[in-house]
Structure 1
Amino acid sequence: MATVYREVDVPSQQGKTALVTGANTGIGFHTARVLAARGARVLLGCRDESRAAEAIAAIQSKLPDADLAWLPLDLASLSSIEKAAGQVQQTESHLDLLINNAGVMVPPKTLTEDGFELQFGVNHLGHFALTGHLLPMLKARADARIVNISSLAHRGAAIDFDDIHAERKYSRMKRYQMSKFANMLFTFGLQQRLEASGSGALAVAAHPGGSNTELGRHIGLMRFLFLPLEWIMNSAAEGALPSLRAATDPDAKGGDYYGPTGMGEFARSAGIAKVDSAARDLEAINRLWGISEALTNVSI
C-alpha cells in the first residue's frame, strides 16, 4: 500500500516566499495555510481585498505568527498581472514558489478584459503571463518551483488552435478541459526551457482529483451527476495535498505531475499521477507557446 501523504509531511519552508493565486478560498486557501504553518511567507494573489483579509484572519486565528500578505491580482487582466508582478519585484527580496492555482470552471461565455475567452484567459494565459513576469526572480533561487494546477479533465482534451477564443462555438466543459490541457503543455514546455537555460528551477503540475470547492459553482444541473460521488470526494484541505507535494517534495523532478492516489485518482492522499501522452507533444507545446507569447506580449 502506498504511503499516505499528510500535511505534516510537508517539509520546513522557513526562509521561503511563496505566491499562491486564488488563495482566498478552497484549495488555494489550504495550500497557503499549510505553507505558512511550515514557515513560509505567503502572498495571497486574488482580486478581492475583503476576501483576502478574511482568509488571512482565518489562518492567523490558528497561526498567529503566520507571515501573510495580500497581493492584488486579477488574472483576467494583463495590466493587473503586470502590476502585481511589479509589486512582488519591489516588495519581496526573493520568490521561491509560484503556485498557479486560481481558476474558473464552466462559466457562461465571458471574455476577459483583453478579449480572451475567460477559462482559457484566466486558467492558462493569465498564469502564463504571471509566470513570465516573475521568472527572473524565480530563476535567481537555486531550488525555485513553479506549480501549475491542472485537472483530470486534461485527459482527452486538445487545443482548438483554429478557434482559440471560442468565437465560433462555446462549450463550457470542452473549454475548461482545453484550459487544463494547456496547463499541462505549459508545464512541460516551461521545464524544457528551464533545463535549456541551465536553471535549477523546476516546473511541475498537480491536480486535486474530485474536491468539494467553490470552483464548481457554475456547473448548475450537472451538480446532480456528482451527488453520488460526494461521499468519496476530497475536502478542499485534502485536495490541496497534491499541490503541496508538488511544491515541496524534495524528491520532485521537473515535469512531475501529482494527484490523489485513490481509485481513478479521484480522491485521497497525493502521489505521482497519470499524464495524457498528448500533453507531451512537442508540436502542440511549441504552438501553444508561440500563441501565448503573442497574446500576452510576454516572452519566456
Structure 2
Amino acid sequence: MSFHPHPEKSWSHSRDQFFQECPRKYYYQYYGSHNGWRADAPERAQALYRLKQLLNLYLYLGETLHDAAEMYINRWEQKGVGFLRDELFQRVRNLLNQAYRESLDADAWWQAPKRRKMLAELYYSQEKRLADRAVAEIKSRMGACVDHLIQSESLHEVIRNPEYRLVEVEKLNSFYLQGIKVYVKLDALYRHEAGKYVIIDWKSGLEDDRNEEQMQLYAYYLHNALGAPLEKIEIRTEYLLKGSCHKEEISFQGLEAIEQKILDSAAEMDLMLLDPEANRPRPEEEFRPALDARSCRFCNFRAICTVQHR
C-alpha cells in the first residue's frame, strides 16, 4: 500500500458537520488519525485512529437499521419477497449484542479496531457496563424502528411497485463542484418507468433541520451529476422512531443554497490548511475546540483531547 502523508481532500455533509461542531474533533477525525492503521505510524496517530472507530450506541442502532433496510431491499429485488418483522428485529438485535460482547474485550479491539466493535459508552465507562436506562431506551427504539420500517410508506408504495426499478442502495458516489470533490451516499434510489426518481433516506432519530440540508444535497447530486429534472425528483425521509414519512420539495432556490453551502464550507476548511493543494493541515492547536460543552461530553477523542469543557 502506497504511503500518502495527508488524506484525500474532499467535502461531504458529515465532514461539514464535524467541522461545524468542533474543528479540533474534525482535525482528529480526518488528519490526526491519518495513517494510524500503519504499524510504523506515530503512536498518537495510531491511538487517534483507534478512537475514531468507536461506536456511539444510538448511532450504531441507526447503522443496524440501515443494514436491515438494505437487506430487505436486496431480498425483494432478488426474490420478490421481503423479511418478516421478527427476522429483521433479530438481525438488529444480533448486531447490537455482538457489538456489546466485543466491547467487553478492549485489548482485542485495540489490536484489531477495524475488525471488532467497541461501543464508546463501554470504553469510557468506569464500571464497564451500559447504563440500565440506555439499555431500556435502545430496546424501546429498536422495536419501534423495526415496526415502522416494515410499515413504512416507502416500502409499501415504492419498493413493492413493479413500475419502480432500483437504481442503487447504500452506494458511495462522488461528483465535482468547481474542483471540489463531493461525496454522497444515498440510502436507496428508485426510478419510475415514467422517469421519476425517488430517494429514500432512513432516520432512526428525531427530526433535525440538518436532515433537510442533506436531502437537498442528494437532489443536487441527482440533478447536476445525473441530469435528473427537478420536477422528476422526490425525496422521502422515513423517520422510523416516529413512523412518519416526510417528503421534501425540490426547488432551484434550494439547490442554489446547497451549492453555496458547499463552496462556503469548503473555503472555510481551506483556511485551516497550510498547503491546500497537498491538503496539509495547520498544527493541531490552531483547530479550536467546540464552543458547546455538550460536544465534549460524548466525543470519541476525549481520551486524548486536552481542551475539554469541565
Q: Highest CA radius of gyration, 1 or 2?
A: 2
TM range (shorter): under 0.3
What's the TM-score, normalizing by structure 2? 0.23
What's the TM-score, normalizing by structure 1? 0.23
